[in-house]
Structure 1
Amino acid sequence: MVEGALRRARERITAAGVDMRLVHGDVTELRTSGVGTGYRLVLDTGTFHGLTGSQRAAMGREVGVITTDDATVVLDVFAPRRRGPLPHGASRADVERAFPSWEITDVETADTDPDALARALHFDEHWYRLRRR
């Protein structure tokens, strides 16, 4: 799946004529992925809620290493619930445990109104915005 997604991303980058670097790495091992450091914004649109507790903690540590002191992290997180083979979700407490040196500054309900599948599967998505303490 990842290779296909990277291929499509490369095609879109080429079509848009922009200069962008893609990195295939593990969010729990960002330091060794070659992604670099100094980021002021990290956006996760669907990784965190599919990880185990230890993987979430590793993600939190790794994001802390690659970001600046004034960084913002934005996570799109499904609420906890069994959804067959889909990610089971995560709670606010799960986010707080994984990012102990960060503060949740905002929680917004994701707008899935046009997405009938999202409503049917009860994703109950929330956007969490975090800033360093």
Structure 2
Amino acid sequence: MASRHMVFRAFYALGFTPWDGHPQSATLRELVEGNHRLPPGSALDVGCGTGDASIYLAQHGWQVTGVDFTPKALRKARAKARAAQVTVNFVDADVTHLSQAGIGPGFQLIVDNGCFHGMSGSDRELYVQEITAVAASGARLFMVAFRPSGRFGPAGVEQSEIERRFTPAWSLLSATDEPRPPDANRFSARFRARSYVLQRQA
């Protein structure tokens, strides 16, 4: 866990954050704004970074908690939320230790824009335990994850691993290839992303 913390804090210190500033996924927008949108409730944004998804959810009536372990990212997130005139509870915590940080339970929507796919196997096991513990019955988990690329960057994850790790507490509702952002830089353009929607079982 310490190495993961150090890597992301170094990225933010250098200003190298290619995951920031992209438009929200069409899959997430469908969950929040679509014809069969979820009723606004309590949402958790894990690995929230500088808060783009958290702010988006708050703008659409959700009560949002954003979690990240990078203080610089959280400072930027709080400033962006103030500028957008929305309220988000940003918490300095690790997704593998949510309960220790006093987060949850009862979230109806959990958002992960690129957190799970960069974790080690042991951290992924803890992630599933913690996310399951804070999710309400019937909750949706929206996840964007890179496929394994064998190149420098996040480890990536296959759909089969997601299904294996989250079964039986969750069921996979959809898996969709994410279009490459029109403003993709040379770093992010090398990776293929998919979005997943899972539902917490009763």
What is the TM-score of this pair, normalised by structure 2?
Answer: 0.61
1:3 pairs with 2:82: no
Name 1:16's counterpart in structure 2: 84
Higher relative contact order (CA 8 A, sep 6+): 1
Report the RMSD for the aligned CA atoms in angstroms. Answer: 1.3
1:78 pairs with 2:155: no
Q: Which of 166, 170, 173 is 1:99 aligned to?
A: 166
Q: Structure 1: 5+ residue runs without aligned partners?
A: none
Whether the 8 Å CA contact 2:136–2:200 is kept in 1: the answer is: no
The one-letter code sitting in structure 2 at the alignment partner of 1:109 is D
The one-letter code sitting in structure 1 at the alignment partner of 2:165 is A
**Cα distance in structure 1, aligned partners of 2:124 and 2:165:** 5
What is the number of residues matched between the two proteins? 130
The one-letter code sitting in structure 2 at the alignment partner of 1:128 is Y
Residue 90 of structure 1 aligns to a residue whose secondary structure is: coil
1:124 pairs with 2:192: yes
**Cα distance in structure 1, aligned partners of 2:178 and 2:158:** 14
Relative distance call for 1:21 and 1:80 in structure 2 (3 A) is: same
Whether the 8 Å CA contact 2:112–2:142 is kept in 1: the answer is: yes
The one-letter code sitting in structure 2 at the alignment partner of 1:25 is A
**Cα distance in structure 1, aligned partners of 2:193 and 2:180:** 8
Name 1:61's counterpart in structure 2: 129
**Cα distance in structure 1, aligned partners of 2:178 and 2:127:** 22
Q: State the 1:90 CA deviation.
A: 0.5
Q: State the 1:35 CA deviation.
A: 2.1
Whether the 8 Å CA contact 1:44–1:76 is kept in 2: the answer is: yes
**Cα distance in structure 1, aligned partners of 2:101 and 2:180:** 32
**Cα distance in structure 1, aligned partners of 2:115 and 2:181:** 21
Residue 69 of structure 1 aligns to a residue whose secondary structure is: strand
Q: State the 1:20 CA deviation.
A: 1.8
Name 1:108's counterpart in structure 2: 176
1:25 pairs with 2:73: no
The one-letter code sitting in structure 2 at the alignment partner of 1:35 is I
Q: State the 1:19 CA deviation.
A: 2.0
**Cα distance in structure 1, aligned partners of 2:127 and 2:164:** 11
**Cα distance in structure 2, aligned partners of 1:30 and 1:98:** 18
The one-letter code sitting in structure 1 at the alignment partner of 2:173 is T
What is the TM-score of this pair, normalised by structure 1?
Answer: 0.90
Q: State the 1:17 CA deviation.
A: 2.3
The one-letter code sitting in structure 2 at the alignment partner of 1:6 is L
